[in-house]
A and B are shown apart, each in its own frame.
Chain A
Amino acid sequence: MKAMKRVLTSVMACLMLAAAAGCTPSNTANDKDEQGRTVISVGNWPATEGEYLTRITKQKAEFEEANPDMAIEPDTWTFDLQSFYSKAAGGQLPGLYYANFTEIEKIAAGGYYTDITDGIERAGYKDAFDPRLVDLITYDGEMVTFPTDFYATGMSYNVDLFEKAGLVDENGVALQPKTWDELLEFAKTIKEKTGKNGFIVPTTNNYGGWLSTPLMWSYGVEFMKKNDDGSYTATFDSPEMIAALEWIRDLKWKHHVIGDEALVTPDDSRRQFALGNVGMMMNLPKYKTLLNYEMPLEHIGAMAVPAGPKRHVTLTGGYCATVKEGSTEDQIDAAIKWLEKTGDGGKVTEQSKKDMEASFQNTLNNGDVVGLLGLSVFAGDNEYRKLQLELTEKYRNIDAKQVKLYNDSLNDESIELQPEVPVCAQELYGEIDKMIQQILNDENTDIAAMVKKANSDFQANYLNNLD
């Protein structure tokens, strides 16, 4: 019995210690190892064996050899909202973690970052970033994150369906629909000549709202305005919004160029497109998912977003790396050096050239598309950009004419680049999703009344409740 008591007491003591440890979050990064090196853990580390793991492990060894006072600690966590808040609250985020631009608002609002302004200056990146990005990554005068990728939303088209529909020029390059009305004509032609749907509109998971913003902006919609006192007013109860939604409604009920579904998940839209059932869709210049659905590479095409009656505009997005809350100056410096090592820094050296080449090779080895250009994270006509363009061309695995329309559009100054709305972006996309679902479900929807209600709900439920 005594032995039993001792066992129980030990078990309880262990449990209490474990609980106490678990209940005491530490947001202060453990910045030095036993050798006195600055340690920074890095997220998005590959969790499975493969070429990527081999390559990044080699990069880690090279990095630690070149910087004997720094050490990289792999962390396989990748950003997802389900675990983000709990990890952040428990101080368990990787020292350097990656996320989409759309998450910057949450990262900043939660304070889950260390201001990297001084670190950026120490590393020689002061004023280096594209001015369009600076506002996006700066909150209350603090630089929240380091942008690593910057892109413009475009359109995907199915090369095979375009050819069958005769929507190509004499050189075999697809014709670019210049306006949304012209896109509608293209969609009708595809439907008529191939029997496939000309277009697809995702409508769930806030995706429809997100990808429809360029269409709505181009009709002249302004979703919100900032007031002098810092508050926001919803402003999309407008004839422009009604017109944009009518255009979407007519795709289904009047012209029959999209499917019957009112609920289209992002995966549905990508799958339908990859299977060759759809001619065109709004998309990011990211095509790995389509290849995962075994879409033949020679069927993938990318083009620019068409213009609307008021503007020619597209939505920008990107990816960024954030140094977690409570990090030291040494860790910020190590994080920026690591970003340079992995090809995300803006400096061009002999070593960084090799690192960037390795990065492109890795993209190819992952079975991804190389050939689509992004926007430059860094301002001006810099060396880094030139190297990026050079390597994109060198490792391109898709016929240039399949991506010409999209790549050329990035140099078209008549196309405005606009980031997503500054506050309540996901909530806005949710409201737009609901409206699109409604009009695709009921052709007799009173769109003006629906927009009025959505505008009023968005104001009352979200904009009036900003902290």
Chain B
Amino acid sequence: MNKRKTFKVWLLLFPVVFLLYLFIWRPSVMGMVWSLFKMKGYTPTEFIGLENYIRVVSNTEFLPILWNTVQYVLWSILIGFPLPIIVAFAINELVHAKNFFRNTIYLPAIMPGITVMLLWYFIYSPTSTGLLNQILAIFGAEPYGWLNDSNWVILYIIIQKTWAGFPASMFFYYTSIQNIPGDLYEAATIDGAGFFRRLWNVAIPRMLPIIVLNLVRQIIAVFQVMQEPMVLTGGGPNNASMSLGYQVYLYGFVQGRVGQALSLGTITFLILIVATLFYFKIEKKTTENL
């Protein structure tokens, strides 16, 4: 490519690169740099090295909150990860009412996030008026605390998050299934393969890169969970559902500890960078296979 052409390419790329610099790269790098400073609001005043990091990591709540965040990810892998794959295959196998199920299952994805959380707030209400407790009452059971149960609160939040988020992933998988050449299925059927055999030997291998890609994306997204504990539990009971993301919010916007918010944000970033590098590797492989 000659210099003139290279110049034109850069010229075309420049607006995008500039916007990326302005809205993503610059704030990210500045956040990391400022995490080494004493902050007066959003203004760095004095270089203090790793002091903000020491404060964050030595906070007696740091390790419990980190463990909570890991639990969010583990539960989401257990529940939120397989569900959309299963539903996508189930819809694909439907002969009748396929469109009806496909569209109605997608409904939670188009509901505003805050509405979904409020809806689940009432579903999980620990009083006898809560939807789940009304169902329990039919079977003669006492009302249960749901989000008030510190042992299982993260699981319940993940169930809500899965309900709201799985339709989008499900469509992702559904489209992927549709792209599997029909003759592969037909050949497998002629060879006597049943549904599960076709699934295991034909569909899953073809979809594996996309499945792994989605898994990594999910880990990255759930590791940053913030809105759900903020709205549903306020991080409680007794910090049992507090996440790193929500703690960053509290540092930055409630307690006015901007330096610590930036440090914890950077720590989260460093943890996630490992997953992100893995994601890029998988994405490259996926793109090559498409």
Establish whether residues B41 and A88, one from each chain, have CB atoms under 8 Å apart when the complex forms: yes
Q: B209 to chain A: closest CB distance in Å?
A: 37
Chain B CB count within 10 A is highest, among A106, A111, A437, for A437
User: CB-CB contacts of A257-290 with B at 8 A, as 1s and 0s?
Assistant: 0011111010000000000000000000000000
- Of all chain A residues, which has the CB nearest B128? A260
Q: How far is the CB of B232 from chain A (nearest CB, A)?
A: 8
Interface of chain B residues 38 through 65 with chain A (CB within 8 A): 38, 40-43, 55, 58-61
Bound-state Cα–Cα, A86 to B31, Å: 13
Asked, given contacts A8-B11, A12-B18, A262-B237, whether A441 binds B41 with beta carbons under 8 Å apart, the answer is no
Q: Nearest Cβ in chain A — how far from B16, in angstroms?
A: 11
With A15-B15, A89-B42 given, is the CB distance from A262 to B145 under 8 Å?
yes
How long is the Cα–Cα vector from A441 to B43 in the complex, in angstroms?
41
A112 contacts the other chain (CB 8 A): yes
Contact A437 B14 (CB under 8 A): no
* Shortest distance between the CB of B112 and any CB in chain A (Å): 18
CA–CA, A16 and B14, complex, Å: 11
CB proximity to B under 8 Å, residues A416-467: 426-427, 430, 433-435, 437-438, 440-441, 456-457, 460-461, 465, 467
Least CB separation from B22: chain A residue: A19
Is A204 among interface residues, defined by CB-CB distance under 8 A? Answer: yes
Q: Is B108 an interface residue (CB 8 A)?
A: no
Task: Specify which chain B residues have a CB less than 8 angstroms from the CB of A259 in the assembled complex.
Answer: 127
Interface 0/1 of B10-27, CB less than 8 Å to A: 011011001100100000
Q: How far apart are the CA atoms of A265 and B18 in the complex, in Å?
A: 43
A171 CB-CB contact with B under 8 Å = no
Q: Is A205 part of the contact surface with B, judged by Cβ < 8 Å? A: yes
Q: Is B150 among interface residues, defined by CB-CB distance under 8 A?
A: yes
Which residue of the partner chain, among B127, B147, B237, B250, contacts A438 with CB atoms under 8 Å? Answer: B237
Per the bound structure, the CA–CA distance linking A86 and B148 in Å amounts to 35
Instruction: Answer whether residue B113 sits at the interface, using C-beta atoms and an 8 A cutoff.
Output: no
How far, in Å, is A104 (CB) from chain B's closest CB? 12
Which single residue of chain B is at the shortest CB-CB distance from A82?
B253
Cβ-based interface call for A402 (8 A): no
Contact yes or no, B236 A85, CB < 8 A = no
Report whether B238 and A81 are in contact in the complex, using a CB–CB cutoff of 8 Å.
Answer: no
What are the interface flags for A106-134 relative to B under an 8 Å C-beta threshold, 1 for contact and 0 otherwise? 10011110000000000000000000000
- Do A437 and B42 touch across chains, with their CB atoms under 8 A apart? no
Question: Which of B38, B55, B143, B234 has the most CB atoms of chain A within a 10 A radius of its CB?
Answer: B234
What's the nearest-Cβ distance from chain B to residue A301, in Å? 24
Q: Give Cα A8 to B8, complex, Å.
A: 10
Cα(A205)–Cα(B126), bound, Å? 19
B11 touches A263 (CB 8 A): no
CB contacts (< 8 Å) of B12 on chain A: these are 8
With a cutoff of 8 Å between Cβ atoms, the chain B residues found around residue A89 in the complex are 41-43
Contact, CB under 8 Å: A441 / B148: yes
Residue from the list B42, B148, B255 in contact with A426, Cβ < 8 A = B255
CB of B225 within 8 Å of the partner chain = no
Report yes or no: A12 in contact with B14, Cβ–Cβ below 8 A.
yes
Q: Give chain A nearest CB distance to B47 CB in angstroms.
A: 14
Interface string of B226-239 (1 = CB under 8 A from A): 00000001101111
A265 to B236, CA, bound (A): 11
Q: What residues of B have a CB within 8 angstroms of the CB of A203 in the complex?
A: 236
Chain A, range 67-108, C-beta contacts under 8 Å to B: 81-82, 85-86, 88-89, 105-106
- State which of B40, B58, B143, B233 has its C-beta within 8 Å of the C-beta of A460: B58
Residues of chain A lying within 8 A (CB to CB) of residue B22: 15, 19
Interfacial residues, chain A to chain B (CB-CB below 8 A): 5, 8, 11-12, 15-16, 19, 81-82, 85-86, 88-89, 105-106, 109-112, 203-206, 259-263, 265, 426-427, 430, 433-435, 437-438, 440-441, 456-457, 460-461, 465, 467
The 10 residue pairs across chains A and B that have the minimum distance between CB atoms: A89-B42, A204-B234, A110-B41, A437-B237, A262-B148, A438-B238, A106-B256, A81-B253, A437-B236, A434-B238
